[in-house]
Structure 1
């Protein structure tokens, strides 16, 4: 089995790096988070736990 030429390795690296960047950018810009803000969340009671060992 012949070895791959160094140019092929560079092209493969560039191709997969480009694909990784494109997938990450699409995931970032196409993801639409939905934040539910209600009046109840503003009046949250913080429970303070004091651990005694």
Structure 2
């Protein structure tokens, strides 16, 4: 039963690590997109006027 326990723990920590990585990645991407979108939206806004 011990190897199974370690396997479950390993999978659990791996999942947590992946979740944290994905969250960091998405927030980072959103931050970059937000910065670039501001300039893009300003250009579009000028086009409409």
| TM interval, short-chain normalised | 0.5 to 0.7
- The alignment covers a number of residue pairs equal to 31
User: Who wins on radius of gyration, i.e. which is larger?
Assistant: 1
Q: CA RMSD in A?
A: 1.4
The correspondence of residues 1-53 of structure 1 with structure 2, limited to 5 A, is: 5-31=1-27, 32-33=30-31, 34=34
Q: What TM-score do the two structures reach when normalised by structure 1?
A: 0.52
**Unpaired stretches in structure 2, ≥5 consecutive residues:** 36-49
**Unpaired stretches in structure 1, ≥5 consecutive residues:** 36-53
Q: Which has the higher helix share?
A: 2
